[in-house]
Amino acid sequence: MSAITPLPEPADLPSARGPVRVTAWAPPDDDRHLAVLATERGAAKLVHPTVLPLAWLGGTSRTEFWRTGGAVHRDDSPAMSLAWTEDVLFGALQVDDTPTGAMRAAERGYRAMTDACARFGFPHLLRVWNWFGAINEGEGDRERYRQFCVGRARVIPSPPVHGYAAATAIGIPASAQTLQLHFLAARRPGVAIENPRQTSAWRYPREYGPTAPGFSRAMLLDWAAPPLLLVSGTASVVGHASAHSDVLAQMDETLSHIDTLIERAGQHLGVAASLGAHSLLRVYVRAAHDASVVSARLLSRYGAGLPFMILHGDICRRELLIEIEGVHTFV
């Protein structure tokens, strides 16, 4: 029944004992999944899958299992699907952005998301995934991604006490139709992690839009067992400027950023860590033909022990060819 390329579970990776743990596999006798995030083909025969709205182009995984050590409760409606445990909540929703545009859609979607988190008692937003079509359409401040950032800031106008949630914003290679949001929230806050090699996104200068992007570079769940780092969508940006012009150079820069975030989170926990077997990556490429060289580079560098999937999506800056997000488990 596996919907992914089989990967052996390392013996030293414990089963989920606490709030949540992310893997690319699921033991056959374990149905305690807060969320199952799968590509369209990977969703077949899965229970309660949340389908990623992008085409799968390659990699060693088609599915992410967000497992929990506690009982899972669910509430599904046409507008929003929610699943929660004693500690964490996962949700998925979508809003139509055709009549109102990206700004209004973001405002409505984020209002619905934060209202649901508050209503169910999970006030701390940890991670958000944003998907919408035609992300680079429009010139200057009318670009849809910039308009999306304005709408998001109308709901979350300044950094929360414990920092912005980690986030990804990826364009669906299609016309504007809907904004889809996936999100993770908790009763306890995480620890926002920033990268000294990059300007914090929410401090970007005016040249990138009327409202700076409201997200942290990563969010550390230091109270989880084992601790978990949720890495935002990360690209080849040094300081606040895009760097490099070919996909492999951009990928190497991006992986260096992710290693820095894992290292800094490890310093907070008092452990040494780096990208590898205890990590999991989602890779987004703008051009489908880049998937093969990206996959080959990842396999050459990390081997088959690092689960990753490559998806076809547009990046928030037109000159960027690749974006990578990840999860790292500190064991």
CATH 3.30.1330.40 fits 21-329, yes or no: yes
Give φ, ψ of 258 to 5 degrees: -65, -40
Give φ, ψ of 297 to 5 degrees: -65, -40
Domain boundary assignment for the chain: 21-329
Residue from 133, 73, 124 nearest 97 by CA:
133
Can you say how many angstroms the Cα of residue 215 is from the centroid of all Cα atoms in its chain?
Answer: 11
Per-residue pLDDT of the chain (331 residues; tens, 9 = 90+): 222 222 334 333 344 456 788 888 876 656 678 999 999 887 877 888 999 999 999 999 999 999 988 899 999 988 899 999 999 999 999 998 887 899 999 999 999 999 999 999 999 999 999 999 999 999 999 999 999 999 999 999 999 999 999 999 999 987 768 899 999 999 999 999 999 999 999 999 999 999 999 999 999 999 999 999 999 999 999 999 999 999 999 999 999 999 999 999 999 999 999 999 999 999 999 999 999 999 999 999 999 899 999 999 999 999 999 999 999 999 8
Report DSSP state, residue 34: E
The pLDDT, as a whole number, for residue 78 is 86
Q: Determine which helix (DSSP H) or strand (DSSP E) holds 311, and give its type and residue range.
A: strand 308-312
Distant-in-sequence, close-in-space partners of 87: CB < 8 Å, separation ≥ 6: 18, 19, 20, 70, 186, 187, 188
Sheet of 166-172: strand order equals 73-76, 80-84, 88-96, 178-186, 124-133, 166-172
Task: HSE, CB side, 13 Å, CA atoms: give it for residue 120.
Answer: 26
Distance (Å, whole) CA 81 – CA 302: 35
Distance (Å, whole) CA 71 – CA 67: 10
Residue from 153, 227, 156, 149 nearest 190 by CA:
227
Distance (Å, whole) CA 9 – CA 4: 13
The pLDDT, as a whole number, for residue 30 is 60
HEC readout, 101-118: HHHHHHHHHHHHHHHHHH
Distance (Å, whole) CA 170 – CA 54: 9
CB 40 within 8 A of CB 287: no
- What is the set of active-site residues? 323
